[in-house]
Amino acid sequence: MLVLLYHKVIKNPGFDLWWRTFDLQIKILKSTYKIVSLDEVLDCVINGKCQKNAVAITFDDGYADNYIYAYPILKKHKVKATLFLATSRVLLEDKKRPTLLDYWEGKVSWEELYKPKSMKDANAEFVKQGRSTDFLTLEEIKSMKDVFSFGWHSHWHLKAFERDEVIDFYDGDGHWSLLHAYKGDLRKGYPIFPMKGSLAIRAGSLKPEVKEFIRSLGDSFFEKRSWKKELKELLKRNFDSLLTFETEEEMKSRIEEDFKTSMGLLKSFLEESVEHGAYPFGDYSDELKKKCGEYLRSCFTTEKMTVKPYSDPYAIPRITVPKDIWSFFAILTKSKLGFW
């Protein structure tokens, strides 16, 4: 049994999965597999009732293009899927944007269809502004309930610093979670540390005295060709450690608050409870799995494997679908040959 993971389906060929390629993929899946629900996946995991040539289709985050491009294609092929929503991203609006179906029926021109942003740009816009039009509206979510089931994917959907090990310095580029990690005060020269999904770790924060030291260097320091190497040596020389970490209790409280918020919002959005979830960025810990067990019947990872009978219902693997059709064929071939 196979669980596939999608994020975005885009208007034109480029940075992510083109809608025409997605259309072909769904056509292939429907003709060669049995499309199953997450309840049926869970039946395999818990009771060992694993159907042959079965595949479940999932989406993460909740991008506008899931409604504009993916939803009409799934509906055309009479295929159902599950969308795991990051509740902070949902636009609390009652409007719906034109979809591929509207274009196919001649109601709108091609130019009138929304052009999606990249995942990085959409999430960076959200972190900076508190909203992004690249995510679904509440009315769009409600309109997709005939095709999509919905699940938990956290409220804030962010990464945090995992350990005190400098891997780079901010120079204008980096993961969109950096802005949140630095609480909006992100400047050139601030260190970058390894990051993981914030619900899976005790989050680290840069010490105020380290920030002050870096700011004291002045703009001219960062005009040097070797400023990153010099700064790394300066920090080693002046500080024993750079991060402070929240306590275990602070982490548990933060996880509980995120679950209460996200599950409450999902129930209000959908007017029903959700039973399945997906870990943000695929990252999880024993504590996060335990919390999922209090709220959900299952939770999905991004571990690249097929689903096995009598396995952990709170660590069900999914395989991320790449944007090109040949890599998609490779995934199907490997799964059928038992390479995963």
Tokens for 213? Answer: 């030291």
Amino acid type, 266? L
User: Using one digit for the tens of pLDDT, what is the confidence trace for 119-135?
Assistant: 999 999 999 999 999 99
User: Using one digit for the tens of pLDDT, what is the confidence trace for 61-82?
Assistant: 999 999 999 999 999 999 999 9
Report the pLDDT value the prediction gives residue 248, as an integer from 0 to 100: 97
Q: What is the mean pLDDT of residues 20-48?
A: 97
Report the pLDDT value the prediction gives residue 289, as an integer from 0 to 100: 97
CA gap 27, 97 in Å, rounded:
25
Tokens for 83? Answer: 């969308």
Tokens for 133? Answer: 């039009």
Q: What is the mean pLDDT of residues 30-53?
A: 96
Predicted confidence (pLDDT) at residue 139 exceeds the cutoff of 80: yes
Residues 127 and 178: beta-carbon distance below 8 Å: no
Whole-prediction pTM: 0.96
Predicted confidence (pLDDT) at residue 337 exceeds the cutoff of 90: no
Residues 51 and 40: beta-carbon distance below 8 Å: yes
Angstrom distances, CA of residue 242 to CA of 89, 151, 250: 31, 37, 20
CA gap 254, 248 in Å, rounded:
10
Report the pLDDT value the prediction gives residue 290, as an integer from 0 to 100: 97
Per the listing, tokens 């060929």 go with 13
CATH architecture of 2-157+250-336: Alpha-Beta Barrel (3.20)
**SS3 letters across the chain:** CEEEEECCEECCCCCCEEHHHHHHHHHHHHHHCEECCHHHHHHHHHHCCCCCCEEEEEEEECEHHHHHHHHHHHHHCCCCEEEEECHHHCECCCCCCCCHHHHHCCCCCHHHCCCCCCHHHHHHHHHHHCCCCCECEHHHHHHCCCCEEEEECCCCCCEEECCCCCCEECCCCCCCHHHHHCCCCCCCCCEECCEEEHHHCCCEEECHHHHHHHHHCCHHHHHCCCHHHHHHHHHHHHCCCCEEECCHHHHHHHHHHHHHHHHHHHHHHHCCCCCEEECHHHCCCHHHHHHHHHHCCEEECCCCCCCCCCCCCCCECCEECCCCHHHHHHHHHHHHCCCC
Predicted confidence (pLDDT) at residue 340 exceeds the cutoff of 90: no
Query: Residue 195 — very low, low, confident or very high, per pLDDT cuts 50/70/90?
Result: very high
* Average pLDDT taken over every residue of the chain: 96
Domain boundaries, the chain: 2-157+250-336, 160-248
Query: What percent of the chain has pLDDT above 90?
Result: 95
User: Using one digit for the tens of pLDDT, what is the confidence trace for 155-177?
Assistant: 999 999 999 999 999 998 889 99
CA atoms within 13 A on the CB side of 116: 29
User: Using one digit for the tens of pLDDT, what is the confidence trace for 272-325?
Assistant: 999 999 999 999 999 999 999 999 999 999 999 999 999 999 999 999 999 999
Report the pLDDT value the prediction gives residue 120, as an integer from 0 to 100: 94
Angstrom distances, CA of residue 153 to CA of 188, 281, 308, 327: 31, 9, 23, 26
CA gap 37, 264 in Å, rounded:
23
Query: Residue 25 — very low, low, confident or very high, per pLDDT cuts 50/70/90?
Result: very high
Q: What is the mean pLDDT of residues 95-109?
A: 98
Query: What percent of the chain has pLDDT above 70?
Result: 99
Taking the CA atoms of 269, 148, 317 and 164 in sequence, report the sign of the dihedral they define: negative
| Angle, in degrees to the nearest 10, between helices 208-216 and 227-238 | 130
